[in-house]
Amino acid sequence: MELDLTRTEKLEELERLLQSRTLQGSESLKAFLRFVVLKSVENQNSLLKEYVIATEVFGRSSDYDSRNDSTVRVQAGRLRSKLQEYYAGEGKQDKVIIDLPKGHYTPVFSHVEPSNGSGVAVADLPATASLVDSRGASFPWLKLTLAGLAALCLLLSVLVFNYRSEARRLRENPASRTPESADVQAAAPLWEELLRSPQPVLIAFSNTLFQGTAETGMKLLKPLDSPGRSFGTANNAQGSGGLEEQNTVVTDHYTGIGEVMGVYSLADFFLKTGHPFRVKRSLLLTWDDVKTENLVVLGSPAENLLLRDLPQDQDFVFRLLKNDKQETSFGVANTKPGAGELAAYFAKQEGLSRSQISEDYAVISMLKGLNENYRLLILAGITTFGTQAAAEYVTKPEYIKDLIAHLATSSAEGPPRLPSYFQILIKVKVNGGVPVQISYVTHHEL
């Protein structure tokens, strides 16, 4: 409880947070956290107002108007997410917790006993509660958009339990690793760079914003051909409190079922390798994550806005294109087509519904992180079914062998070597919303 905490304990926990890897490079968030904690410790809670924070922390002028500038609210949302991420990972053994309750800028301090958890941390899983507008009217038509999130939450809970059970089993009986060792070794040429670091691999699943009404349906909040966002924009739309209260417009998150199944495939793979991982929704990704962690992203730039601003050039890119019927459609553009390759690839749909997809394409991209010591692996389909297939292609032994056979650059005896950076295009046959056949099409070295 807070009454048991001394001033020294609070300041020591503040310093641990400021020195943490979670807040590394986030100078504005550090300044925000330092300000609110110091004012609270000095019993100056009356100064923890939006206007004071805007002018003293973020350098806004004296005519700051919160109705026109949501900087403080957006940064508060980012700070809450970082605090949750810290205490789910590197700070899970801390005896003191600093929290910033939603809707307030006065920090809350609490004393807890450290837990002895496993190496898996799930950061900021989205809520799956029913949506209700300001007048209490429910929106049952939105429940389908939340089905993927509900499944993902349940799935990750099961995986964390299984991971801990499996880790305990392997510690008690190391010989039990043998049946899976061959598959793990076969995957090494593909995964060795991402698994070289002992720190957890970060899995980011698409969690884009949709907006709409019961009459108009739900649409992407940001057009497919628009650039990526400045960090905080999505949180601003989510948390400003205005959009949901006007004309029954609802802003919500959506995660496709392919991304849900992709997280399962990746988590199951990491379980077999014994390598730690953690999960985060893509709306909360920052450039710090790309710079300081090995990262696997599920979904295309249509859902993961950060992917629209990556500095590394790519040969296969997702964009709006003209198909054979001269209709505008979302697909994969091949910017450097080689012999026998098409300039564009599109999903095939047998009816009006996206659930009637019969054929899809996906791109597997192994790219540089913002730091040369890290890698960024993107698994993206034109539709959610292609994304699921891409995750299976890099985690299932039979597909990994096929991938390595096409990409291997060394013919000498010994373990195969793959290019450092590459993109693979795969074709996916879909039946009843399930990828039933995955085949290699081509690849480009970057």
Mean pLDDT, residues 9-24 taken together: 89
Which residue, among 49, 29, 26, has the nearest Cα to 39 in the 3D structure?
A: 49
Per cent of the chain over pLDDT 90 is 24
Q: Which residue has the higher pLDDT, 286 or 38?
A: 38
How far apart CA 310 and CA 304 sit, in angstroms, is 11
Residue 195 near residue 275 (C-beta atoms within 8 A) = yes
Mean pLDDT value of segment 110-123 = 53
User: Which positions ≥6 away from 199 have C-beta within 8 Å?
Assistant: 276, 293, 294
How many other CB atoms are found less than 10 A from the CB of residue 52? 17
pLDDT of residue 337: 93
- Residue 117 pLDDT exceeds 60: no
Q: Partners of 321 in the beta sheet?
A: 329
pLDDT higher than 60, residue 230: no
Grouping H, G, I as helix, E, B as strand and the rest as coil, residue 252 is: strand
- What are 52-105's pLDDT values in tens digits? 998 888 888 888 888 888 888 888 988 998 999 899 888 888 889 999 988 889
CA atoms within 13 A on the CB side of 284: 24
> How many Cα neighbours within 13 Å face the side chain of 61?
2
Residues 6+ apart with CB under 8 A from 93: 114, 115
Cβ neighbours, 10 Å, residue 363: 28
> Checking DSSP bridges between strand 316-322 and strand 208-213, what pairing results, if any?
unpaired
What is the average pLDDT across 128-138? 33
Overall average pLDDT of the 157-168 stretch: 54
| CB 141 within 8 Å of CB 214 | yes
For 377-424, the pLDDT digits (tens) are: 999 999 899 999 999 999 998 899 999 999 987 656 667 888 989 999
15/49 Cα distance (integer angstroms): 23
